[in-house]
Chain A
Amino acid sequence: EPEVTQTPSHQVTQMGQEVILRCVPISNHLYFYWYRQILGQKVEFLVSFYNNEISEKSEIFDDQFSVERPDGSNFTLKIRSTKLEDSAMYFCASSERAVNTEAFFGQGTRLTVV
């Protein structure tokens, strides 16, 4: 069964450093998403991406964050100058269409900022 894969599964970084979280969406999917889950809290939408541009972003997704689809398979989330409060599980998701379809989630990358 096709699945969304994320790497790495766990990343530890020092405060102020830049991190790139990587995702390989399901191959025939056109819509890509990043979500965040701070430990013990709910999953929060960060950004959606379609046709090589951001289609929607939440208040959380400020100038510190950026997304990119550098090639035909990868979808990345870059966090510049990480802060302690960026520590969370980051989930990538993809869907075939924008509507009438579900999003499939990866296993997540646990980011720990120290």
Chain B
Amino acid sequence: AQSVTQPDIHITVSEGASLELRCNYSYGATPYLFWYVQSPGQGLQLLLKYFSGDTLVQGIKGFEAEFKRSQSSFNLRKPSVHWSDAAEYFCAVRGGADGLTFGKGTHLIIQP
């Protein structure tokens, strides 16, 4: 069965600083990988996805993520965060036609 680990429950970053959120997955074959963002009381918005091809994928709101098969990782990055980026971030994996398996999420706090 697939699984996702997001080792950081909370991360605090100063506005304008760079950001990296970690995600490790477990799946036997090439997975489909996703990052979703959830603002308080809101639904899940897709930031970016990886299916195949170029291992560096670009998403919305200036986010990018890099798939590293050797490390079973799919870390999310942003060069300069904005206060509006404060939210909960979920990494998810999907194997084939199965439903998504989510990580526990990382709560991002932006300091002024």
Q: How far is the CA of A31 from the CA of B98 in the complex (A)?
A: 11
Classify chain A: how many residues form its interface, as a range: 20 to 34
| A56 lies within 8 A of B105 (CB) | no
- Give the chain A neighbours of B103 by CB distance below 8 A: 42
| A56 lies within 8 A of B43 (CB) | no
| A42 lies within 8 A of B102 (CB) | yes
A91 at the interface (CB under 8 A from B): yes
B99 at the interface (CB under 8 A from A): yes
Partner of A45, one of B49, B100, B104: B100
CB B9 to nearest CB in A, in angstroms, measures 11
CB B103 to nearest CB in A, in angstroms, measures 6
| B90 lies within 8 A of A42 (CB) | yes
CB B37 to nearest CB in A, in angstroms, measures 11
B32 at the interface (CB under 8 A from A): yes
Q: How far is the CA of A106 from the CA of B97 in the complex (A)?
A: 20
- Give the chain A neighbours of B105 by CB distance below 8 A: 42
A12 at the interface (CB under 8 A from B): no
User: Could you say which of A13-21, A63-71, A73-81, A95-103 contacts chain B?
Assistant: A95-103
| A105 lies within 8 A of B32 (CB) | no
Measured CB to CB, the residues of A under 8 A from B are 31, 33, 35, 41-48, 55-56, 58, 91, 98-100, 102-108
The 7 A-B residue pairs with the shortest CB-CB distance, nearest first, are A45-B99, A98-B97, A107-B43, A105-B44, A43-B102, A42-B104, A105-B43
